[in-house]
Amino acid sequence: MFFPGTTIKLFEYKSNKLGAPVYLTILSFTYLLTVIGVVYIKTLELFLLS
């Protein structure tokens, strides 16, 4: 089981080794989209249930 922080640290390490922080950028962007998506769905559920 990976926690977001652990995953980011892992990608940071890989990025530094490869000299390409692109992976970290993609990961952060995907993580951000996922969080926004979850919040959006939860908000929709709240409105539909009420």
Which residue range is the domain that position 29 belongs to?
Answer: 4-49
- From residue 49, how far is each of 35, 36, 42 by CA, in Å? 21, 20, 10
pLDDT at 1 over 50: no
pLDDT digits (tens, 9 = 90+) for 4-44: 556 666 666 665 666 557 777 888 899 999 999 999 999 99
Confidence of residue 49 (pLDDT cuts 50, 70, 90): confident
Instruction: Provide the pLDDT for residue 16.
Output: 60
How many structural domains is the chain composed of? 1
User: What is the value of pTM for the model shown?
Assistant: 0.47
pLDDT at 34: 95
